[in-house]
Amino acid sequence: MPNTTKFPRSFTWGVATSAFQIEGAAAEDGKGPSIWDTFTHHPGNVIDASNGDIACDHYHRYVDDVGIMASLGVDAYRFSMAWSRVQPEGKGAWNEKGFDFYDRLLDELAQKELAAHLTLYHWDLPQGLQQDGGWLNRDTCLRFADYAQEVARRFGSRAATIATHNEPWCSANLGYGNAQFAPGIADAKAAIQVSHHLLLSHGLAMQAMRTVGAPAKLGIVLNQWTADPATDSEADRAMAQLEYARSVQWFMDPIFKGCYPALALKSHGENCPIIHPNDFTDIRQPLDFLGVNYYFRSFCSAETPPKKPEGKLGFTDMGWEIYPQGLTELLIALKQEYTLPPIYITENGMANPDKLVNGQIPDIERITYVRSHLNALANAMAQGVDIQGYFLWSLLDNFEWNSGYAKRFGIVHVDYETQQRTLKDSAIWYREFIRAQRLA
């Protein structure tokens, strides 16, 4: 595949991480526990029985890590704040030492001329709020809006963007639907109510942050996919349509249209969420940007056993099908259906069983993956979709949730024994790709 894809000069090139996956310092400087601290310390929840106590020790190594980003020549860094670091209980007192960490990180980024793209919630709810029912409790939405407003007040002039949530589909469906993620609840009805509360909390947080009048652009990050029928059969096509309605449209419609998609609502039957009269007015707030995370498509087969995708380009170490054209198709579909704000691709990347070979990590698979997805992105842009930037997931190998440290997503290798960072070949390739874009 040629290296010829061209992007506008103003395009933002970035890397992404999240707090729980890299920071460590789980109980340092007054940080309270989050639901992921609790979940990971419960045997059986994480494949390799690991946790986030130390992770990449980024809390202590952020200066070096920002230095690595600067050496790669990226423009921007997407990271999340750990709510329980700055407000240990999720309500009540703020923890100044927690805010100090993000203050230092923002200073370091500014010094290296890297734009900060901040996410408020990347799945790590303060455990104190879980005790009160977590996202099943409507009151958590108000707590979240308070937290969002405080962050906007303190940091809203130093962050380029602030996203409310990262992938609420995952928080709801993996956290409450099938117990794969914290808080580890398996209850279909609860998952749907939680998804509604997450959307409501997004809307309330947007309004609370707007009152501050900070220059940061405000939005949300959603994980999305196209849903393709495995065959042309009516059953497969119906399944694909329903899957798209329950995942992509379930989050997009309330934000952009002020309602849930009828098909999905009908299918949820008795599990439909309790919705208060003004909820959709609160949720439907204008966005300055939409973050889209894309990893794979959804392949829908109604047969038993279900048909699997062929995977012409292979599968990643997560078992996820490599399907770059899905990114083009998704973005075009979104543009056709919604009046969109500018989009950032806030995550895209792959897990690969990378090995150090004579001091190098030849992750050619990742280079091919990223390059093909950038081509797919350029195709969507050529067809008129307004994309402002791309954030590669991830800067570092890190704690991959219930897969622990077994799955490596970084363009920088981390030796967890020594915390040594080593650039993989993909990091060097990304650096050169970005440089070539600037020269072009």
| Binding mask of the shown chain, residues 115 to 154, with x at each position contacting ligand FCB by CB under 6 A | ----------------------------------------
Chosen residue from 59, 393, 429, 430 binding ligand FCB by CB under 6 A? 393
Site residues (CB under 6 A) for ligand FCB, limited to 94-113 = none
DSSP designation for 272: P
Min separation Cβ 17 and ligand FCB, Å: 8
Distance CA 91, CA 95 (A): 11
- By beta-carbon proximity to ligand FCB, the closer residue of 120 and 265 is 120
H-type helices in 173-291, by residue range?
188-210, 234-244, 250-256, 262-268, 279-283
- Integer Cα distance of 115 and 120 in angstroms: 16
Q: Binding mask 153-192 vs ligand FCB (x if CB under 6 A, - otherwise)? A: -------------xx--x----------------------
Residue 409 in contact with ligand FCB, rule: CB under 6 A: yes
Does 391 sit near ligand FCB (CB under 6 A)?
Answer: no
Q: Does 347 bind ligand FCB (CB under 6 A)?
A: yes
Q: Give CA–CA dist 132/128, Å, rounded.
A: 7
User: Tokens for 356?
Assistant: 């150090």
Burial of 2 per CB tally in 10 Å (0-12, 13-18, 19+): exposed
Beta carbon of residue 318, minimum distance to ligand FCB (angstroms, whole number):
7
Q: Judged by CB, which is closer to ligand FCB: 59, or 123?
A: 123
> Cβ 51 to ligand FCB, closest distance in Å?
15
Q: What DSSP line would sit under 346-385, residue for residue?
A: EE---------BTTB---HHHHHHHHHHHHHHHHHHHTT-
Tokens representing 156?
């809203």
Joined together, the tokens standing for residue 405 give 């440290």
- Binds ligand FCB (CB under 6 A): choice among 102, 401, 405, 433: 401
- In angstroms, the Cα distances linking 406 to 47, 57, 309, 318, 320 are 8, 17, 24, 10, 15
Selecting among 89, 108, 167, 329, the annotated active-site residue is 167
Packing angle of the helix pair 188-210, 139-155 (nearest 10 deg): 40
**Least CB distance to ligand FCB at residue 409 (A):** 5
In this complex, which beta carbon is closest to ligand FCB, that of residue 20 or of residue 101? 20
Binding pattern for the stretch 261-300 against ligand FCB, x by CB under 6 A and - elsewhere: --------------------------------x-------
Would you count residue 397 as binding ligand FCB (CB under 6 A)?
A: no
Q: To the nearest whole angstrom, how small is the minimum distance from the Cβ of residue 393 to ligand FCB?
A: 5
Should residue 195 be labelled a site residue for ligand FCB when binding is judged by CB under 6 A? Answer: no
Per the annotation, the verdict on 167 as an active-site residue is: yes
Report how far residue 202's alpha carbon sits from residue 347's, in angstroms, rounded to the nearest whole number.
Answer: 19
Site string for ligand FCB, 221-260 (x = CB under 6 A): --x-------------------------------------
Interatomic CA distance for residues 255 and 222, integer angstroms:
11
369 contacts: CB under 8 Å, gap ≥ 6: 316, 322, 324, 349, 350
Whose tokens are 């065959």? That residue is 231
Tokens of 413: 């290798």
Residue 123 CB, nearest approach to ligand FCB (Å)? 7
Catalytic status, residue 347: yes
By CB under 6 A, residue 400 contacts ligand FCB = yes
Please give the distance of CA 193 from its chain centroid, rounded to a whole number.
21
- Residues forming a β-bridge with 163: 119, 219
> What is 274-331 written as a DSSP string?
P--TTHHHHH-PPPSEEEEE----EEE--SSSPPPP--TT-B-TT--B--THHHHHHH
Q: Does 18 bind ligand FCB (CB under 6 A)?
A: yes
- Report in angstroms how near the CB of residue 346 gets to ligand FCB at its nearest: 9
Nearer to ligand FCB (CB atom), residue 75 or residue 400: 400
Q: Which is nearer to ligand FCB, 61 or 165 (CB)?
A: 165
Nearer to ligand FCB, 230 or 290 (CB): 290
Size of the site for ligand FCB (CB under 6 A): 12
Active site (catalytic) residues = 167, 347
| Footprint on this chain of ligand FCB (rule: CB under 6 A) | 18, 21, 166-167, 170, 223, 293, 347, 393, 400-401, 409
